[in-house]
Protein backbone atom coordinates (compact mmCIF):
# COMPACT_ATOMS: atom_id res chain seq x y z
CA UNK A 1 0.00 0.00 0.00
CA UNK A 2 3.00 2.25 -0.48
CA UNK A 3 1.40 4.03 -3.45
CA UNK A 4 -1.80 4.57 -1.50
CA UNK A 5 0.11 5.96 1.41
CA UNK A 6 1.85 8.38 -0.90
CA UNK A 7 -1.45 9.33 -2.55
CA UNK A 8 -3.01 10.32 0.73
CA UNK A 9 -0.01 11.43 2.77
CA UNK A 10 -0.70 15.10 2.05
CA UNK A 11 -4.30 14.76 3.19
CA UNK A 12 -3.27 12.83 6.28
CA UNK A 13 -0.87 15.58 7.24
CA UNK A 14 -3.56 18.18 6.70
CA UNK A 15 -6.03 16.18 8.73
CA UNK A 16 -3.76 16.26 11.75
CA UNK A 17 -4.45 19.99 11.87
CA UNK A 18 -8.08 20.00 10.76
CA UNK A 19 -10.56 17.27 11.64
CA UNK A 20 -13.70 19.35 11.17
CA UNK A 21 -16.58 17.00 10.38
CA UNK A 22 -17.92 19.61 7.94
CA UNK A 23 -14.95 18.80 5.71
CA UNK A 24 -15.91 15.17 5.37
CA UNK A 25 -18.37 13.45 3.07
CA UNK A 26 -20.29 10.42 1.85
CA UNK A 27 -18.96 8.68 -1.25
CA UNK A 28 -20.98 6.05 -3.14
CA UNK A 29 -19.36 3.50 -5.45
CA UNK A 30 -21.73 1.90 -7.98
CA UNK A 31 -20.32 -1.39 -9.30
CA UNK A 32 -18.39 -1.76 -6.05
CA UNK A 33 -18.08 -5.56 -6.12
CA UNK A 34 -16.32 -5.62 -9.50
CA UNK A 35 -12.72 -5.77 -10.63
CA UNK A 36 -12.32 -2.00 -10.34
CA UNK A 37 -14.94 -1.46 -7.66
CA UNK A 38 -13.24 -3.53 -4.96
CA UNK A 39 -9.70 -2.06 -5.06
CA UNK A 40 -11.15 1.40 -5.67
CA UNK A 41 -13.32 1.06 -2.57
CA UNK A 42 -10.27 -0.12 -0.64
CA UNK A 43 -8.33 2.98 -1.68
CA UNK A 44 -11.28 5.23 -0.82
CA UNK A 45 -11.41 3.64 2.65
CA UNK A 46 -7.99 5.19 3.21
CA UNK A 47 -9.13 8.65 2.13
CA UNK A 48 -9.63 10.83 5.21
CA UNK A 49 -12.14 13.09 3.42
CA UNK A 50 -14.59 10.19 3.30
CA UNK A 51 -16.96 9.82 6.25
CA UNK A 52 -19.24 7.18 4.75
CA UNK A 53 -18.40 4.77 1.97
CA UNK A 54 -21.59 3.33 0.44
CA UNK A 55 -20.89 0.30 -1.75
CA UNK A 56 -23.59 -0.62 -4.27
CA UNK A 57 -23.65 -3.48 -6.79
CA UNK A 58 -26.24 -5.92 -8.07
CA UNK A 59 -24.38 -8.66 -6.13
CA UNK A 60 -21.85 -9.29 -3.34
CA UNK A 61 -21.55 -5.85 -1.74
CA UNK A 62 -22.52 -7.03 1.77
CA UNK A 63 -19.35 -9.16 1.77
CA UNK A 64 -17.13 -6.47 0.27
CA UNK A 65 -18.47 -3.92 2.77
CA UNK A 66 -17.99 -6.27 5.75
CA UNK A 67 -14.40 -6.91 4.65
CA UNK A 68 -13.37 -3.30 3.91
CA UNK A 69 -15.32 -2.15 6.97
CA UNK A 70 -12.76 -3.80 9.26
CA UNK A 71 -10.01 -1.42 8.15
CA UNK A 72 -9.26 0.94 10.99
CA UNK A 73 -9.84 4.28 9.34
CA UNK A 74 -12.60 6.59 10.46
CA UNK A 75 -15.22 6.10 7.73
CA UNK A 76 -18.34 3.99 8.03
CA UNK A 77 -18.83 1.38 5.27
CA UNK A 78 -22.23 0.11 4.14
CA UNK A 79 -23.07 -2.50 1.49
CA UNK A 80 -26.15 -2.22 -0.72
CA UNK A 81 -27.85 -4.44 -3.31
CA UNK A 82 -31.02 -3.65 -5.31
CA UNK A 83 -33.29 -5.30 -2.73
CA UNK A 84 -34.77 -3.12 0.03
CA UNK A 85 -34.23 0.11 -1.93
CA UNK A 86 -30.46 -0.42 -1.80
CA UNK A 87 -29.64 2.02 -4.60
CA UNK A 88 -31.61 4.79 -2.91
CA UNK A 89 -29.88 4.11 0.40
CA UNK A 90 -26.46 4.18 -1.28
CA UNK A 91 -27.12 7.44 -3.12
CA UNK A 92 -29.01 9.53 -0.58
CA UNK A 93 -26.81 12.35 0.79
CA UNK A 94 -23.85 11.30 -1.36
CA UNK A 95 -21.40 14.08 -2.09
CA UNK A 96 -19.50 12.07 -4.69
CA UNK A 97 -20.63 9.07 -6.75
CA UNK A 98 -18.02 6.97 -8.54
CA UNK A 99 -19.35 4.63 -11.24
CA UNK A 100 -17.40 1.61 -12.50
CA UNK A 101 -20.58 -0.46 -13.11
CA UNK A 102 -20.78 -2.42 -16.34
CA UNK A 103 -19.02 -5.06 -18.38
CA UNK A 104 -15.35 -4.89 -19.40
CA UNK A 105 -13.78 -5.79 -22.76
CA UNK A 106 -12.48 -9.13 -23.97
CA UNK A 107 -9.71 -9.45 -26.60
CA UNK A 108 -10.89 -8.33 -30.03
CA UNK A 109 -13.50 -5.90 -28.71
CA UNK A 110 -13.46 -2.11 -28.90
CA UNK A 111 -14.83 -0.02 -26.05
CA UNK A 112 -17.75 0.87 -28.31
CA UNK A 113 -18.65 -2.84 -28.42
CA UNK A 114 -19.61 -2.44 -24.73
CA UNK A 115 -22.23 0.18 -25.59
CA UNK A 116 -25.17 -2.22 -25.94
CA UNK A 117 -24.76 -3.55 -22.40
CA UNK A 118 -23.38 -0.57 -20.52
CA UNK A 119 -25.53 2.22 -21.97
CA UNK A 120 -28.68 1.09 -20.17
CA UNK A 121 -26.79 0.35 -16.93
CA UNK A 122 -25.41 3.90 -16.90
CA UNK A 123 -28.74 5.45 -17.91
CA UNK A 124 -30.58 3.66 -15.10
CA UNK A 125 -27.97 4.62 -12.51
CA UNK A 126 -28.15 8.23 -13.75
CA UNK A 127 -31.94 8.23 -13.37
CA UNK A 128 -31.60 7.02 -9.78
CA UNK A 129 -28.89 9.59 -9.07
CA UNK A 130 -31.10 12.35 -10.50
CA UNK A 131 -33.74 11.36 -7.98
CA UNK A 132 -31.69 10.66 -4.87
CA UNK A 133 -28.57 12.87 -5.06
CA UNK A 134 -28.98 15.40 -7.89
CA UNK A 135 -26.33 17.72 -6.47
CA UNK A 136 -23.57 15.15 -6.15
CA UNK A 137 -20.36 15.07 -8.20
CA UNK A 138 -20.37 12.13 -10.62
CA UNK A 139 -17.24 10.31 -11.84
CA UNK A 140 -17.98 8.04 -14.80
CA UNK A 141 -15.58 5.14 -15.30
CA UNK A 142 -17.91 2.74 -17.19
CA UNK A 143 -16.99 2.36 -20.86
CA UNK A 144 -17.34 3.58 -23.51
CA UNK A 145 -16.67 6.82 -21.59
CA UNK A 146 -17.04 8.88 -24.80
CA UNK A 147 -20.70 7.78 -24.88
CA UNK A 148 -21.54 7.02 -21.22
CA UNK A 149 -20.81 10.62 -20.16
CA UNK A 150 -23.33 12.01 -22.71
CA UNK A 151 -25.81 9.31 -21.60
CA UNK A 152 -25.42 10.34 -17.97
CA UNK A 153 -25.74 14.04 -18.87
CA UNK A 154 -28.82 13.56 -21.04
CA UNK A 155 -30.52 11.54 -18.30
CA UNK A 156 -29.81 14.25 -15.73
CA UNK A 157 -31.04 16.88 -18.24
CA UNK A 158 -34.30 14.97 -18.71
CA UNK A 159 -34.80 15.14 -14.94
CA UNK A 160 -33.90 18.86 -14.99
CA UNK A 161 -30.86 18.45 -12.71
CA UNK A 162 -27.81 18.48 -15.01
CA UNK A 163 -24.90 20.49 -13.67
CA UNK A 164 -21.97 20.38 -16.14
CA UNK A 165 -19.55 21.38 -13.39
CA UNK A 166 -20.23 18.10 -11.58
CA UNK A 167 -20.04 15.45 -14.27
CA UNK A 168 -16.59 14.04 -15.04
CA UNK A 169 -15.60 11.28 -17.46
CA UNK A 170 -12.61 9.61 -15.86
CA UNK A 171 -9.58 9.79 -18.20
CA UNK A 172 -6.99 9.81 -15.41
CA UNK A 173 -5.67 6.38 -16.38
CA UNK A 174 -4.49 7.80 -19.71
CA UNK A 175 -2.22 10.33 -18.01
CA UNK A 176 -1.07 7.77 -15.43
CA UNK A 177 -0.05 5.43 -18.26
CA UNK A 178 1.47 8.20 -20.36
CA UNK A 179 3.66 9.28 -17.45
CA UNK A 180 4.81 5.71 -16.85
CA UNK A 181 5.47 4.91 -20.54
CA UNK A 182 7.39 8.14 -21.24
CA UNK A 183 9.43 7.73 -18.05
CA UNK A 184 10.38 4.21 -19.13
CA UNK A 185 11.63 5.41 -22.52
CA UNK A 186 13.50 8.40 -21.11
CA UNK A 187 14.80 6.65 -18.02
CA UNK A 188 13.15 9.11 -15.66
CA UNK A 189 11.15 8.85 -12.46
CA UNK A 190 7.44 8.96 -13.48
CA UNK A 191 6.76 11.45 -10.70
CA UNK A 192 8.80 13.96 -12.71
CA UNK A 193 7.00 13.25 -15.99
CA UNK A 194 3.67 14.97 -16.56
CA UNK A 195 1.97 14.30 -19.87
CA UNK A 196 -1.14 16.18 -20.92
CA UNK A 197 -3.55 13.85 -22.71
CA UNK A 198 -6.62 15.32 -24.40
CA UNK A 199 -9.64 14.13 -26.42
CA UNK A 200 -11.61 11.13 -25.28
CA UNK A 201 -11.01 7.68 -23.84
CA UNK A 202 -10.67 5.19 -26.69
CA UNK A 203 -8.02 4.49 -29.33
CA UNK A 204 -7.47 7.42 -31.68
CA UNK A 205 -9.56 9.75 -29.54
CA UNK A 206 -6.79 9.60 -26.88
CA UNK A 207 -4.33 12.33 -27.88
CA UNK A 208 -1.11 12.72 -25.88
CA UNK A 209 0.54 16.13 -26.18
CA UNK A 210 4.12 14.94 -25.92
CA UNK A 211 5.43 18.25 -27.30
CA UNK A 212 4.32 19.89 -24.01
CA UNK A 213 6.45 17.63 -21.79
CA UNK A 214 9.62 19.65 -22.38
CA UNK A 215 11.32 16.42 -23.53
CA UNK A 216 12.78 15.66 -26.96
CA UNK A 217 11.50 12.67 -28.93
CA UNK A 218 12.63 11.07 -32.18
CA UNK A 219 9.89 10.43 -34.76
CA UNK A 220 10.15 6.72 -33.92
CA UNK A 221 9.68 7.42 -30.19
CA UNK A 222 6.73 9.72 -30.93
CA UNK A 223 5.03 7.06 -33.03
CA UNK A 224 5.55 4.22 -30.58
CA UNK A 225 4.71 6.23 -27.45
CA UNK A 226 1.60 7.74 -29.03
CA UNK A 227 0.41 4.30 -30.08
CA UNK A 228 1.15 2.79 -26.65
CA UNK A 229 -0.74 5.58 -24.83
CA UNK A 230 -3.70 5.32 -27.22
CA UNK A 231 -3.89 1.54 -26.99
CA UNK A 232 -2.54 0.91 -23.47
CA UNK A 233 -5.89 -0.55 -22.46
CA UNK A 234 -5.54 -3.25 -25.16
CA UNK A 235 -2.23 -4.40 -23.64
CA UNK A 236 -4.04 -5.26 -20.41
CA UNK A 237 -7.07 -6.77 -22.17
CA UNK A 238 -4.77 -9.07 -24.15
CA UNK A 239 -2.62 -9.99 -21.13
CA UNK A 240 -5.74 -10.81 -19.09
CA UNK A 241 -6.77 -13.07 -21.96
CA UNK A 242 -10.56 -12.91 -21.66
CA UNK A 243 -10.83 -12.31 -17.91
CA UNK A 244 -11.25 -8.53 -18.09
CA UNK A 245 -9.45 -5.23 -18.58
CA UNK A 246 -7.44 -2.86 -16.39
CA UNK A 247 -8.75 -2.95 -12.82
CA UNK A 248 -5.88 -2.21 -10.43
CA UNK A 249 -4.30 0.66 -12.35
CA UNK A 250 -7.84 1.96 -12.96
CA UNK A 251 -8.63 1.79 -9.25
CA UNK A 252 -5.44 3.77 -8.57
CA UNK A 253 -6.37 6.35 -11.23
CA UNK A 254 -10.00 6.52 -10.04
CA UNK A 255 -8.93 7.04 -6.44
CA UNK A 256 -6.60 9.83 -7.55
CA UNK A 257 -9.40 11.58 -9.44
CA UNK A 258 -11.88 11.09 -6.57
CA UNK A 259 -9.34 12.47 -4.13
CA UNK A 260 -8.73 15.53 -6.32
CA UNK A 261 -12.47 16.27 -6.48
CA UNK A 262 -12.77 15.83 -2.70
CA UNK A 263 -9.72 18.00 -2.04
CA UNK A 264 -11.21 20.81 -4.16
CA UNK A 265 -14.85 20.50 -3.12
CA UNK A 266 -14.63 19.69 0.57
CA UNK A 267 -10.96 20.15 1.40
CA UNK A 268 -10.89 23.76 0.19
CA UNK A 269 -7.69 23.19 -1.77
CA UNK A 270 -7.08 25.55 -4.70
CA UNK A 271 -5.36 25.02 -8.04
CA UNK A 272 -5.94 21.27 -8.40
CA UNK A 273 -5.70 20.27 -12.05
CA UNK A 274 -6.76 16.91 -13.49
CA UNK A 275 -7.70 15.80 -16.98
CA UNK A 276 -11.36 14.94 -17.44
CA UNK A 277 -13.88 14.35 -20.21
CA UNK A 278 -16.40 17.10 -19.48
CA UNK A 279 -18.90 19.35 -21.25
CA UNK A 280 -16.49 21.68 -22.98
CA UNK A 281 -16.30 24.53 -25.48
CA UNK A 282 -12.83 23.59 -26.72
CA UNK A 283 -14.13 21.88 -29.88
CA UNK A 284 -17.78 22.91 -29.66
CA UNK A 285 -17.39 24.75 -32.99
CA UNK A 286 -16.69 21.33 -34.58
CA UNK A 287 -19.80 19.86 -32.97
CA UNK A 288 -17.89 18.10 -30.17
CA UNK A 289 -19.88 18.70 -27.01
CA UNK A 290 -17.60 16.85 -24.56
CA UNK A 291 -13.83 16.84 -24.61
CA UNK A 292 -11.06 16.00 -22.17
CA UNK A 293 -8.43 18.61 -21.37
CA UNK A 294 -6.88 19.59 -18.08
CA UNK A 295 -9.49 21.14 -15.84
CA UNK A 296 -9.02 23.22 -12.76
CA UNK A 297 -11.18 22.08 -9.86
CA UNK A 298 -12.82 24.40 -7.36
CA UNK A 299 -15.43 24.25 -4.59
CA UNK A 300 -18.27 23.74 -7.12
CA UNK A 301 -16.40 21.19 -9.24
CA UNK A 302 -15.12 22.13 -12.70
CA UNK A 303 -13.91 25.71 -12.32
CA UNK A 304 -11.87 26.29 -15.45
CA UNK A 305 -11.42 24.24 -18.60
CA UNK A 306 -7.96 24.64 -20.03
CA UNK A 307 -7.50 25.02 -23.79
CA UNK A 308 -5.03 22.86 -25.68
CA UNK A 309 -2.20 25.39 -25.60
CA UNK A 310 0.50 25.24 -28.24
CA UNK A 311 0.57 21.91 -30.06
CA UNK A 312 2.79 20.45 -32.80
CA UNK A 313 1.72 19.62 -36.37
CA UNK A 314 1.99 15.95 -35.39
CA UNK A 315 -0.57 16.54 -32.61
CA UNK A 316 -2.83 18.62 -34.88
CA UNK A 317 -2.99 15.61 -37.14
CA UNK A 318 -3.89 13.34 -34.20
CA UNK A 319 -6.64 15.77 -33.16
CA UNK A 320 -8.05 15.82 -36.68
CA UNK A 321 -8.38 12.02 -36.51
CA UNK A 322 -9.90 12.11 -33.01
CA UNK A 323 -12.64 14.67 -33.73
CA UNK A 324 -14.89 12.67 -36.13
CA UNK A 325 -14.72 9.55 -33.94
CA UNK A 326 -15.51 11.54 -30.79
CA UNK A 327 -18.41 13.26 -32.47
CA UNK A 328 -19.86 9.89 -33.49
CA UNK A 329 -19.46 8.45 -29.97
CA UNK A 330 -21.09 11.50 -28.35
CA UNK A 331 -24.04 11.58 -30.75
CA UNK A 332 -24.58 7.86 -30.14
CA UNK A 333 -24.75 8.51 -26.39
CA UNK A 334 -27.07 11.50 -26.79
CA UNK A 335 -29.38 9.60 -29.14
CA UNK A 336 -29.64 6.67 -26.75
CA UNK A 337 -31.42 8.84 -24.21
CA UNK A 338 -33.38 11.19 -26.48
Ligand X SMILES: NC(=O)C1=CN([C@@H]2O[C@H](COP(=O)(O)OP(=O)(O)OC[C@H]3O[C@@H](n4cnc5c(N)ncnc54)[C@H](O)[C@@H]3O)[C@@H](O)[C@H]2O)C=CC1
Ligand Y SMILES: O=C([O-])CC(=O)C(=O)O
What is the residue-wise DSSP string for 135-156?
Answer: TSEEEE-SS-HHHHHHHHHHHH
Q: Is 34 flagged in the annotation as binding? A: yes
Spatial separation of the C-alpha atoms in residues 44 and 148, rounded to whole Å: 23
**34 binding ligand X? (CB under 6 A):** yes
**37 binding ligand X? (CB under 6 A):** yes
Among 99, 173, 175, 255, binds ligand Y (CB under 6 A): 173
Spatial separation of the C-alpha atoms in residues 261 and 300, rounded to whole Å: 9
State in angstroms the smallest separation of the CB of 80 from ligand X. Answer: 10
Using CB under 6 A, which of the segments 13-21, 22-30, 103-111, 271-279 binds ligand Y? 103-111
Q: Is 142 flagged in the annotation as binding? A: yes
Cβ-Cβ contacts under 8 Å for 325 (sequence gap 6 or more): 146, 200, 202, 203, 204, 205
**175 binding ligand X? (CB under 6 A):** no
Cβ-Cβ contacts under 8 Å for 64 (sequence gap 6 or more): 32, 33, 37, 38, 41, 55, 57, 79
Q: Is 57 flagged in the annotation as binding? A: yes
Among 53, 237, 258, 318, binds ligand Y (CB under 6 A): 237
Question: Of the listed 52, 95, 201, 227, which one is catalytic?
Answer: 201
Binding-site string for ligand X from residue 225 to residue 254, where x marks contact by CB under 6 A and - marks none: -------------------xxxx--x----
**Euclidean distance between the first and the last CA atom of the chain, given in angstroms as a whole number:** 44
Among 34, 35, 199, 233, binds ligand Y (CB under 6 A): 233
Catalytic status, residue 201 = yes
> Per DSSP, what are the bridge partners of residue 99?
140
The H or E element containing residue 52 is strand 50-56
* Residue ranges that bind ligand Y, judged by CB under 6 A: 104-105, 111, 143, 173, 233, 236-237, 245-246
User: Which positions lie near ligand X, rule CB under 6 A?
Assistant: 30-31, 33-37, 56-59, 100-105, 114, 118, 121, 125, 141-143, 145, 170, 173, 201, 244-247, 250
Amino acid sequence: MLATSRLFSSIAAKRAFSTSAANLSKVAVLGAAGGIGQPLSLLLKENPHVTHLALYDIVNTPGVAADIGHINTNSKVTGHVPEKDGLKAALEDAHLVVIPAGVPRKPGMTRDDLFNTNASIVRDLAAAAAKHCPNAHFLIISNPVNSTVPIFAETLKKAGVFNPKRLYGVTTLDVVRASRFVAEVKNLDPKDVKVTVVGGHSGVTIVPLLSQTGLEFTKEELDSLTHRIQFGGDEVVQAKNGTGSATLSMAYAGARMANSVLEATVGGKKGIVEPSFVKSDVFAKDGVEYFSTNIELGPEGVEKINKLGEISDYEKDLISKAIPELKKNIVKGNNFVQ
